[in-house]
Structure formats: structure tokens, C-alpha cells
Structure 1
């Protein structure tokens, strides 16, 4: 299987649903048109809408989709100089193939899930471009609603694509022998090189919150619950107005979850104890207090909405947390206690406390971070630290967990190096597994292209596609 530039895979594909059922491949014969209003008919009596450059199953790709994809790349500050129209068309067609097959396999993506993603996407574009009006003009739409309509279809098809790809590779596994064979293929300069890495640990000190402030939040959440249950108020609207969870507030507090979803235990236990349509009492977690509403139960999957409120922290409590952090740092620097021991006994962060404060890389589920891929807020705090050195207390204001003070240290540094089978087995295994997954997807794509209705316009027939779209 040929591969196009990895930049292209960052793009979300626009999709427009059409009825085009068939099980054969053919090339669209170009029909000349002067205006969009004309709808010429090809020799097989199929209508070709002006601007359609490809059809995959029940989906079409418009020439304007490629233009729009270029603008999306630019909006995300991704270089487009070396990305060709053929590459983008090939990527868009791949996405349509996945989305088409996902529908055939009855994969479901809820509107609420799409709206949540769309809200985040619009917020990102507005931040990059400057305003909603500029964003609408940038994407050459007449109104925000028309842009949202196209974004909705695009995101829904993207999520169908993601779920279809996940289904394809979920069963792919790799054995130690396959890893060994994979690595043995590399010789000399071809052996992978892994970049410089570091391990980072932190101690988090949260300010004490008074019982009075906690009760204020509990009472307010109970008021909201009663308003919904007794007066028929909208939980969605209440979440939009009052929730302090930035990840779900704009979409009415919506999340889709299973037992494996990485939510805190208290939240999951409460959600799965509720009946459909039931609202919990206020639930305390490390992030604050939640009202949890189970909107829909789908077997082992829940559609939930929640409202998060955080008790207010006084300046006195915040100052006390800083002083506590300073004293802990002093003990570490003086050699009275190690950083790891202090993290286990003093840190208020559950996720890192038991590991001596070590941060987990969410991409690899290991403790090593590539320097070039460290989150910016962490990099700025630790980039100049010597191994074993401890920062002064750093004020952190997390939108989800509130204000706290943290101490950070670099526990280990690893220089850039050529892959070593014994030392880097996990990374090599990941590379080998990814190659096997790519091969599985390539095999699946080749099979599905043969049995799916595909058309490619004459002007794109000469493209060097990654897949065999043109026979």
C-alpha cells in the first residue's frame, strides 16, 4: 500500500450523502457544464452534479471539498505547499469508504457526540481566525448555520471513519517473534532513531476548601435538580449555563461512556448505578461536585449529562497551600526526604501519588516524554531543570480541577539514540504493531474497494492514488 504525506491525515473530510447504490466500479465520463444550475446526464443516465469528482458507495466528493480541505489545513497552521489535490482526493475517498462501510455495519454515532466535537472545532477555528464572522468568511459560507450544517456532516462521517478503522484493527495483535523479525529488517542507517526523552514527576498541593463553601455548591446543585424534576427545566440548558466543565459545558454536559472510559471512579460508579432518566444527588470527586443525569442506556454504554461546580477557594487557603509546598521543597532539597517519598505522603493528586509523582504519557502509557512532544505548560516548567533539581512552587489553574500549587522535577533524561532491541523493546513493538495494523487496513481497503460502487472523474484518473480506485 502506498502512503501519502502524514499531514493529510490530520484533515477532517467533508461528506455529502447521496443515493448511488451499485456494486461495480466505473469512471465518470466528463460532461461539460457552463453553470452549476445545469444537471447533465451521463450516457448511463446517472445525473452528474457539477463539481462531483468522485463517488464512493453512498457518498460523493466535490471539487469544492478539496478546496475546503486546503483551507482547513491552513486554519490549523499545517503546511500545504507539498500536498497535492490528488493526495487530498485520495484521503477523502478513503474516509468515504470507511464511513460507507460503517453504515453497512450498523455503526452508530449520536448527534450529541457530533455536536460536542463540532462545538470544540468551532471554538478552535474562532481562536485561530479571530471571530465567528471571519471564520464564516474564511470558509466561504453565507451564514454560521450553513457552516455548522457542513461541519456536522463532516464530523459525523469522520467519527464513522474512526470507529470503522478501530473495528478493523481491534483484533490485530503481535507476537514477540514478529517484533524480532520486524526489527531484524533494519540495517545500518535504516535502524530507527528515538529522540531525547525525560521522565517528569510532580507533587500537587491543593488548597483546603471550607465546609461552608462545599455546602453552598451542594445546595445550588440540589436546587438545579429540583428545578429539573419538579418544574420541567432543561438539564441541557442548566449545564450550558452553570457547569464549570469546559469540555462538555457548551454541549449541555454530554458524555458517552462505558465502564472502561477513563473517568474518576466516583463518577462512573454513580452513573452506572442510575436508571435511565434518573438524576443523581451531588457527587464529590477531585474535580468538584457533579449532578449526573443518565439520558440513555445502550447496553453497556451510557449517554450521560453532568453539571460540575467547584467550591470557591479563599486567598488565605491558597497562600497556605503555597507555604506547605515551600516547606516540602525545603525538606527535599535538604535531603530529609526524597521527591518520590514526598509525593507518596504529601501530594493531593491521586493519579501520580502512588508512583512517586511520575507523570504518565497519555500517548504511550509510559513515563517517558519526548522533549519535542512535551505539553507546552510542562516543557516551560522543566526544560531548564538539571536532573534531581526541584522547581519553586508553581501556581496551576486547571479549568477542571481548580487552583493548586505544584513542585516539579526531572527524574531521568535519555539522550537521542539508535534503537536498541533490549532497551527499547516496547517502542519497537509499537512500531511493529502499527505496521501490521496498516497492512490489515490496506488488505481491508483493497477488498472493500472491489465490492463497493466507485466512480472517479476523468480529470483525476491519472492520479497516483495510494489505493486502487481506478481500474
Structure 2
């Protein structure tokens, strides 16, 4: 596709030579679902005399032309991905090509409206994506020389090829960011997704899916060692010193360099950077999201120690954070006391005690974090524990059984996990109930986005000449 305002170039017969290699980096997302954009109206564009003799124009969208050679390259790309593409001139080819063109029009409308909406993509993200595209393309060739010759056959040098990949990465980022904006709108049109539609979508989805992994639902409590004796007194004294320095209005970054035990962030003034809440342990995230930008909160206890947290800025669902970590000394005696408590808590669970009540009863010793987990891959559960292999029995869990104490190492002192297995489903074929709600939500979003796209298309200049 080319922008009319920047002129047109003659088509090159070798343009399809890289199509197979580029199949991974230029997905035609519109073939899977319509991608919308905000309403826009573009006036009819007049072409210079003789332009169409350079390459057959099959559609004009706004001020951009789609050429027949664009469709050909896209068909090669689809074929390289394994799609069954009819041979040109055969029965069904025109209908297939029409669908491809419609998807290209949808993608182009989406990109144009993303630009109109002022969507931007960070340069580092564009660079990272483009580098990934280049690496994937290089993987299709046996040598650098073979790839270079293929690129040169298209009339480009390697610099121009990289610039093309960067343009594709930027366009993909624009569409992705704009789609996310649309999905967050509160005025999306109401739609109904029937059970028949969900079942039909599942039948298509399940055809090429690998076996579903073994899944387990469970309650989990984690007993964390606490400092005792002189170690506890020392932790209290350090906490008071930090609070006193705050009272003297010293800069948070200065205090982090002076007091923090977090070697990874201390020299950067405790900087954690932009963080999402779901990336943080629960007590830390709860405290950071209950405060306002500019505030400092703490001490907050996690399995890593005691934290003072500075909330510097906020953007959307992210916050820019700094912290000071005070890691109390944990002795072998503290660890053994935690092990003994974990055995007692495990016995209470086996006797039918409510895990929520146990966490409240032993607050400060049992970690303040989520307890219930549903349909988690068994391998993810087992990997949380040190030595939780076949000897623990957790690799083939029995519903109703409490496993533990099991040692855990999560960046702080050794902890002890207790797992009460609620349900266990061995590995097997994926079932509709496994993905029903995800499919329903996906279909709902597709319908809503499709309605928006139709509204946009009706207000956008589109001239199909195919």
C-alpha cells in the first residue's frame, strides 16, 4: 500500500520473494476479526493521469491506495503460514482474494484512525518489535548472504529493509494500542452472544489445540519466619531511624541509598520504576495503591522484610515507585520456629479449620496474600516449592489432602507452604468449560468492534476497484 500524496512506485516482480520469510512479521489481523477505528471522513482523491498504468489499484481508503501487488504479497504470506490459498485464476480464488482485501481495508482504516486519535508507540517498543521481526525473518534463511540477496531482489538494501520492518512494527503497535483504547470504552454497543455461537467458535478453536495441562484448584497458606530477640529489636530501631529521617524532610532517594537492603535498587535511590499492581506482592501492592501520588507509606511487611514506599507518579493502571527495604536478620532458630508453626497450621487445616480464619489468627506469621487459586497448571504449583517432587506427593495430588509444610524460596528467608487440594484434573483434551467465558468475551468484543467498524466505514472514503 502506498500513500498517494507521496507518489507511486512501479511494482517489482521480485516483491514476493521475501513473502514467506515475512509471514511471521506481517500478520493480517483483519482475517481473524474486524478491527475498528474512530469515525472519519476523507474527501475523494484525484489521481494524476496515467497512474493506474504503473500498478493496478484495487482499492482506495482515504488517501491511501491498495495495489493488486499488495494482495499478491499478502496471499503469499498467508500461504507461507499454512493457509490453503487457491491458485490465481482457479475457482474460489476471487472470493478468497476479496476477503483478503476487505481485511486489508479494515486494517488500514484502523491504522488511519489510530493516527487521527493521536495514538503513539514508544520508540523503544518499536525498536524491540522490529528487531524481533528481523530475527524471525533471518531464521528463514540459511545464511546472512542468502537473506541479503533475497532482500536485494526486491530492490531494497538491508538498511531499507530494516526501515520497512520498523514501519511495520510501528503500525502494529499503533493498531494494538488503539484497539486497547476502544476495548476500554464504556459506551460500547450492547450485543448478545448465543450459546450456539460459543459452541461453534469452540469447535474451530479446539481443532489444533494441544492437550490441556493438568489443572489443580487449592487453598494455600505460607508461614514466614519472623525475627526474634535482638534481631527484632534491631529491626525496630532501624525503622525508627528511617522514620526520623523522614521527619527531617530528607529526600527519599537519599534515604534509600543510606538505609535500604535491596542491593538491586539501592544505588538508584530505591527506584522500582513503572509497576502494575499485579506484579507486586499483595501487601506491597495494597499499600501502594491505597496512597496518592507524592505520598510515602510504611513500614509495610512482606516476605522480603519491611518496606517504605514512595508513590511518585501515576499513569493509567501503572505507578512509578521507589522503596526502602529493611531486611531483618533471620536466624536458624527463627526458621525452625516457623517450621513448627507450619506443622500446627497444617494439622488445623486437616482438621477442617477455615484458612481465612487461620490467616487472621496468625497474622504477621502467615503471609498476607491470596489464599484461593482455581484451575492452575499443576506444574506451576509444584515449581513454587523446593524439593516438591514425587516425594511430596504433590505431583499427583489427591483432592481433600493437605500437603506440607513444603519449603519455599521467594527472595527472602525460607518459608513454608501448606496446600489444601480442592480439585484435580489430569491432563486431557481441552473442553468447552475450560474456555467458555473467554470465548464468549472474545465474541462479544468482536461484535462490538465490528459495529464500530461499520460506522467508521460508512464515514470513510472507500473506493473498491477489484
TM-score (norm 1): 0.51
Aligned length: 361
Measured after TM superposition, the shift of residue 103 of structure 1 is 3.7
Aligned match of 2:339: 322
Question: In the aligned structure 1, how far is the partner of 2:407 from the partner of 2:357?
Answer: 22
* 1:404 equivalent in structure 2: 415
2:251 is matched with: 229
Aligned equivalents of 1:97 and 1:251: distance in 2?
A: 44
CA distance in 1, matches of 2:83, 2:270: 34
Structure 1 residue matching 2:402: 3-state secondary structure: coil
Indicate how the Cα distance of structure 1 residues 302 and 395 shifts in structure 2: closer, same or farther if over 3 A, else same.
closer
- Residue 166 of structure 1 aligns with which residue? 180
Unaligned runs of 5+ in 1: 1-18, 34-42, 45-54, 71-79, 126-138, 141-148, 360-366, 455-467
Structure 1 residue 167: deviation in Å? Answer: 2.4
SS of the equivalent of 2:418 reads: strand
**Cα separation, 2, equivalents of 1:111 and 1:448:** 29
What does residue 265 of structure 2 align with?
243
Which of 203, 209, 212 is the equivalent residue of 2:221? 203
1:436 to 433, 439, 444: 444
1:409-454 deviations in whole A, cap 9, x for unaligned?
311134668968xxx5x95343222123234445656776898899
Q: How far off is 1:265 after superposition?
A: 2.5
3-state DSSP of counterpart to 2:338: helix
Deviation of the 1:358 alpha carbon: 1.7
Deviation at 1:243, TM superposition (A): 2.4
2:377 equivalent to 1:377: no
Unpaired runs of at least 5, structure 2 = 15-49, 52-60, 65-69, 85-96, 136-146, 149-162
The corresponding residue for 2:286 is 265
1:240 shift after superposition: 9.8
Residues 287-306 of structure 1 aligned to structure 2 (within 5 Å) = 288-296=305-313, 303-306=319-322
Q: What's 1:387 paired with?
A: 399
- Measured in 2, the distance between the counterparts of 1:184 and 1:269 equals 42
Taking a change above 3 Å as real, the CA distance of residues 217 and 104 of structure 1, as seen in their structure-2 partners, is farther
1:274 pairs, out of 294, 316, 330, with 294
Q: 1:305 Cα deviation (Å)? A: 2.9
| Aligned partners of 2:310 and 2:322 also within 8 Å | yes
Structure 1 residues 447 and 386, CA, compared in 2 at 3 Å: closer, same or farther?
same
Give the match's secondary structure for 2:439: helix
Task: Give yes or no for contact 1:239–1:307 (8 Å, CA) kept in 2.
Answer: no
Alignment CA distance shift 1:375-1:325 (3 Å): closer
Contact 1:21–1:453 under 8 Å retained in 2 = no
Distance (Å, rounded) in 2 between the aligned partners of 1:102 and 1:349: 45
Cα deviations across residues 15-48 of structure 1 (Å, max 9, x unaligned)?
Answer: xxxx95869xx98632589xxxxxxxxx86xxxx
| C-alpha distance in 1 between matches for 2:429 and 2:253 | 65
- Listed as ranges, the matches of 1:34-183 within 5 Å are 82=82, 101-107=113-119, 160-170=174-184, 171=186, 172=188, 178-183=193-198
Contact map agreement 1:290 1:306 (CA 8 A) in 2:
no
Residues 58-106 of structure 1, C-alpha deviations (whole Å, 9 max, x = no match): 9xxxx9xx9xxx9xxxxxxxxx98599x9xxx99998887565434213
Deviates more, 1:198-207 or 1:303-312: 303-312
For residues 239-297 of structure 1, the C-alpha deviation after alignment (integer angstroms, 9 at most, x for no partner) is 996428xxxx89942226699x9872221223x1627xxxx365424354445445446
Which structure: larger Rg?
Answer: 2
Cα distance in 1 between the residues matched to 2:306 and 2:465: 57
Compared CA separation, residues 376 and 439, structure 1 to 2 (3 A) = farther
Cα deviation for residue 320 of structure 1 reads 1.8
In the TM superposition, what is the alpha-carbon distance from 1:384 to its structure 2 partner? 1.6
**Mapped partners of 2:168, 2:306: distance in 1:** 35
Q: How far apart are residue 228 of structure 1 and its match?
A: 7.5
SS in 1 for 2:366: coil
| Superposed CA RMSD | 6.8
- For residues 215 and 30 of structure 1, what CA distance do their matches in structure 2 show? 76
CA distance in 1: counterparts of 2:413 and 2:10, whole angstroms: 60
SS of 1:351's partner is coil
